[in-house]
């Protein structure tokens, strides 16, 4: 998969309730409410199934974006530590 390579499976998964999931879930719910408002339907009561769907989609998109971000940071850390290990003369202890 292009979004998350196979080597990302070695990382621990992020918690289900994280900042990205909560924010994008809220954005999905607000999008459903705005859709109701723009189409002159009762904002909260109409399309509850659509509100649940948009919230769920936002939640999972947020989860996978956090998972991808953690993979990118882990990959960068691995590359930097590998560079430091191969070039110890550039990183002498201060003292």
Q: How far is CA 15 from CA 3, 20, 21, 44, 92, in A?
A: 19, 10, 9, 29, 37
In degrees and rounded to multiples of 5, residue 37 shows phi and psi of -65, -45
- The answer to whether the beta carbons of residues 29 and 23 sit under 8 Å apart is no
Please give the model's pTM, rounded to 2 decimal places.
Answer: 0.83
Separation CA 23–CA 25 (nearest Å)? 5
Is pLDDT of 95 > 80?
no
- pLDDT tens for residues 25-66? 999 999 999 999 999 999 999 999 999 999 999 999 999 999
For helices 19-38 and 48-86, give the axis angle rounded to 10 degrees: 150
């Amino acid at each position: 998969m292009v979004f998350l390579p196979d080597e990302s499976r070695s990382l621990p998964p992020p918690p289900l309730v994280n900042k990205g999931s909560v924010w994008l879930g809220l954005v999905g719910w607000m999008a459903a409410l705005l859709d109701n408002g723009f189409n002159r339907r009762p904002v909260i009561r109409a399309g509850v199934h659509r509100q649940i769907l948009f919230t769920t989609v936002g939640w999972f998109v947020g989860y996978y974006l956090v998972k991808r971000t953690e993979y990118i940071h882990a990959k960068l850390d691995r590359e930097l530590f590998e560079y430091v290990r191969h070039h110890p003369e550039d990183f002498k202890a201060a003292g």
